[in-house]
Amino acid sequence: MTLKAYKLLFTLFFSISLYAQNPVNGVVVFSETQKPVADVQIYDKASGEKAVTDAKGYFSFQTSKKGLTLVFFSYEYETKEITISTSEAENLRIELQDLTTKLSEVEITARKERVFEMQRLNDVEETAIYAGKKTEVVLVDQSMANLASNNARQIFSQVAGLNIYQNDDAGLQLNVGGRGLDPNRTANFNTRQNGYDISADVLGYPESYYTPASEGLSEIQVIRGAASLQYGTQFGGLINFKMKAPNPNKPIEVITRNTVGSFGLYTNFTSLSGTSDKWSYYSYFNYKKGDGFRPNSEFESKNVFAQIGYQFNKKTSLTGDVSYLHYLAQQGGGLTDDMFEDDPLQSNRERNWFKVNWLLYNLKFAHEFTENTNFTFNFFGLQASRKALGFRTNRVNQADPGGVRDLIVGDFNNFGFESRLLSKYEVFDKDATFLIGTKFYKANNFQEQGPGSDGVGPDFKFASNDFPYYKNQSRFDLPNLNVSVFGENIFYVTDKFSVTPGFRFEYIKTQSDGYYKNFNLDSAGNVIFEETIEEDQNFERAFVLLGLGLSYKANANLEFYGNISQNYRSVTFSDINVTNPAFTINPDISDESGFTADMGMRGTYGSFLSYDLGAFGLFYKDRIGFVQTVLPDGKIVAERGNIGDAVMYGVESLFDFNLKSIIGLNNDFKLNYFINSSFIASEYTHSEQAGIVGNKVEFVPDLNFKTGLRGGYKNVLGSIQYTYLGSQFTDATNSVTPSLSGVIGEIPAYDVLDISLSYSYKRFKLETGLNNVLDNSYFTRRATGYPGPGIIPSAPRNWYATLEIKI
């Protein structure tokens, strides 16, 4: 986007005529504890203006009316209504009473359900700024998705433009991309839980092997556009999993959910939650096991989360989180295109295994210096490992002959802290909000590749003594250091128009210290050449990223927004140090850079419609990807390296219609229909590689379409969802003809239909559903390594049933 275009946008926003406005603001607290209450909905009957309290219980809006009748509504407290004049409307303190009135079962259900499943973040939330950004909040506890298996296709159904790998019937890993970003392990997003990092290494290996249990989430926040300024340098933005909060009204609450399903699926989710005086806690245990929908695909997973908090006083709190995940999965391997056409559910790998141990911890200190100044400090860390074992070859249709297996072990040990200070102030009699933050991150990672045992089971010990001349041997220490300073400031030019500039300074130091070995063997297996190559690399860089966000709120129900932000992505050590038979690495591979831009309009139309319509552009320099390369001996291989400059641009939209209000149904009914669509074009604009300029960019389906109907009568709810994605390429040469390994080639268009039902009765809830109702055979992924290489099929028709009991 050009400077001229920004001036035009600024002028457009600024030139709209304004009306005299009166400020309305205050804080909402619980009467018994005086603690702030978040997510309280405020509605002014006189003007129709709306607002929602943030995490500190604060709300604000503007009105041109002189008299106000404010209604304060929460799902857990008594509704309150007050009538005041605008002269009394600043610095209000509203106390809500406990919901002690005995309600009918239908009334309780109605209070807990929101009209629209998708929400958006306020301009300011605790110590974060979201003004002018594209924000989407998935209300997980309102979702009709299959939460027991973390079905991302259903959970993220109303987030526009996402491209999701669908090859795991247990939801052990999350694979989310979009706008031309590779979905593999969500590596192009900054993934967080309760605001702190959860990936293996934010810079050196930003892949997420851990995904929290969806049944323990209250919401998922997706922030795109200028998110890089507060949350890192990546192109995708932020995905933040927000855990459920402790029950504020009971010392102990127990929820247990048991699920059974196709292919031997069984899961258990049990949570404990409560509040006593100044202490609060929330914890869960999640167990999963199953046989998988293909042979050689069994799995078992155990996940524990525990949070404990202490509220020193109204202004100061301390919270500690611990997460642990252990899972072991057998991997059926990848398929060639011919194998997929012959039988998409076949497997010729029975000795391939994958194991993950993931321990996360975080300590958060929050303090309110004044009503307008907040501070948060997070100290977080990770101790984890992932181990991949199996027989790999670039001819995936070759039967496993037995013998030595390839073993890759990665250990991740990192820690860091992030501090943020947010202050609201006035400049030239106009409101403003300032945020300054810093992040320190240090990682000491280790990776080793070598011979595994010649057995069948999950033996993750190196067998170097048995196979001393195994060709893929390497060992590296991979320390990283990252120091950053970031800041943003909301300037409210008028009561409706705001400008939010921001910056992020990054210092990155990545190191690689180790060796790899080369062996040449004759036909009899004798060593005819042997060498050990030592490597000691030290790469430092420092740079500043800039961004700008614009927002014009015509009224409480309509906002125009726009933003632009620079981006940067480091080369990962898996790009450089892992030997893979399915492809080679260009030795000159280097970091990526570029910028993203968004502009659009969003809001609601009464209680009938919620919408977000926007356009975006993503501009890449030195994009990393695959090309087909001819070696001197005439052999054609896939090579991973910097392809060139690229651009992706398109239109994304979400329309959610409240048919209950449109048709005029009574409160016993609930009925919504949504349409989520994304139309994207892409092109390589510059490349040193022959035959690349003008090609489409990988992982960009022209059409990404999801639509669904959800609703019900009283305590019976149901939903039906249809998903369609157009075809997409997996390499920059736009190869349609697949490679022998199945890694390169087109991913054909596919569609999926899902249905689900639920019934609630007092403390019980029954959920069931049928996924892939039409039993389509399709795939969304050509894996370059584990769990492949090759085509990884998606699940056929399958069912599930869940029983929830709340005590």
The answer to whether 375 and 366 have CB atoms below 8 angstroms apart is: yes
Closest among 684, 743, 698, 683 to 392, alpha carbons compared? 743
Closest among 3, 796, 797 to 344, alpha carbons compared? 796
Strands 636-658 and 430-452: unpaired
Q: Is the pLDDT of residue 98 over 60?
A: yes
Residue with tokens 């009204």: 249
Q: Is the pLDDT of residue 3 over 60?
A: no
Mean of per-residue pLDDT scores for the chain: 90
57 Ramachandran zone, left/alpha/beta (phi>0; psi -120 to 50): left
- pLDDT recorded at residue 75: 67
- pLDDT recorded at residue 22: 80
The answer to whether 750 and 776 have CB atoms below 8 angstroms apart is: yes
Q: Which residue has the higher pLDDT, 667 or 800?
A: 800
Q: Is the pLDDT of residue 337 over 60?
A: yes
Cα 473 from Cα 469, distance rounded (Å): 9
Amino acid sitting at position 623: R
Cα 161 from Cα 566, distance rounded (Å): 20
Q: What would the DSSP string read from start to end of 435-476?
A: EEEEEEEEEEEEEEEEEE-SSSS---S--TTT-TT-S-EEEE
- pLDDT recorded at residue 458: 97
Q: What average pLDDT does the segment 315-343 reach?
A: 96
The answer to whether 23 and 89 have CB atoms below 8 angstroms apart is: yes
Q: What does the pLDDT look like over 663-720, one tens digit per residue? A: 999 888 999 999 999 999 999 999 998 999 999 999 999 999 999 999 999 999 999 9
Q: Is the pLDDT of residue 551 over 70?
A: yes
* Phi, psi torsion values for 597, nearest 5 degrees: -145, 145
HEC profile of 142-188: HCCCCHHHCCHHHHCCCCCCEEECCCCCCCCCCCEEECCECCHHHCC
Cα 572 from Cα 166, distance rounded (Å): 24
* Phi, psi torsion values for 610, nearest 5 degrees: -120, 135
Residue with tokens 């275009």: 5
Residue with tokens 């990283």: 480
The answer to whether 126 and 376 have CB atoms below 8 angstroms apart is: yes
Give how far the C-alpha of residue 334 lies from the chain's centroid of Cα atoms, to the nearest Å: 25
Q: What does the pLDDT look like over 147-157, one tens digit per residue? A: 999 999 999 99
* Phi, psi torsion values for 645, nearest 5 degrees: -95, 145
- pLDDT recorded at residue 732: 93
The answer to whether 624 and 613 have CB atoms below 8 angstroms apart is: no
Residue with tokens 């699940």: 795
Closest among 570, 569, 565, 571 to 545, alpha carbons compared? 565
Q: Is the pLDDT of residue 781 over 70?
A: yes
Q: Which helix (H) or strand (E) holds 10?
A: helix 3-14
Residue 715: strand, helix, or coil: coil
The Cβ of residue 611 has, within 10 Å, a number of other Cβ atoms equal to 19
- The token duo for 605 is 């139309």
The answer to whether 327 and 177 have CB atoms below 8 angstroms apart is: no
Confidence bin at 105 (pLDDT 50/70/90): very low
Residue with tokens 């200028």: 226
Cα 252 from Cα 273, distance rounded (Å): 5
The answer to whether 763 and 308 have CB atoms below 8 angstroms apart is: no
Cα 498 from Cα 731, distance rounded (Å): 41
Please report the sign of the dihedral spanned by the C-alpha atoms of residue 727, residue 730, residue 735, residue 737.
negative
Please report the sign of the dihedral spanned by the C-alpha atoms of residue 729, residue 731, residue 737, residue 743.
negative
- pLDDT recorded at residue 489: 96
Q: Which residue has the higher pLDDT, 66 or 212?
A: 212
Q: What average pLDDT does the segment 85-94 reach?
A: 89
Q: What average pLDDT does the segment 629-636 reach?
A: 69
- pLDDT recorded at residue 578: 64
Distances (CA, A) of 536 to 411, 450, 476, 481, 653: 19, 20, 9, 16, 48
Q: What does the pLDDT look like over 730-767, one tens digit per residue? A: 999 999 988 778 888 999 999 999 999 999 999 999 99
- For the chain, the distance separating the N- and C-terminal CA atoms, rounded to the nearest angstrom, is 55
- pLDDT recorded at residue 420: 98
Which DSSP state fits 511? Answer: E
Q: What does the pLDDT look like over 222-271, one tens digit per residue? A: 998 666 689 989 899 999 999 999 998 889 999 999 999 999 999 999 99
Report cis status (omega within 30 of 0) of the bond before 581. Answer: no
Q: Is the pLDDT of residue 89 over 50?
A: yes
Q: What does the pLDDT look like over 555-608, one tens digit per residue? A: 888 999 999 999 999 887 766 666 667 678 888 888 999 999 999 999 999 889
Q: Which helix (H) or strand (E) holds 521?
A: strand 497-521
Please report the sign of the dihedral spanned by the C-alpha atoms of residue 775, residue 778, residue 781, residue 787.
positive
Cα 374 from Cα 707, distance rounded (Å): 40
Residue with tokens 């690229």: 646
Residues 6 or more apart whose CB falls under 8 angstroms from that of 522 comprise 528
Q: What average pLDDT does the segment 765-794 reach?
A: 95
Q: What does the pLDDT look like over 461-507, one tens digit per residue? A: 999 999 998 888 999 999 999 999 999 999 999 989 999 999 999 99
Q: What average pLDDT does the segment 195-212 reach?
A: 92
Confidence bin at 16 (pLDDT 50/70/90): very low
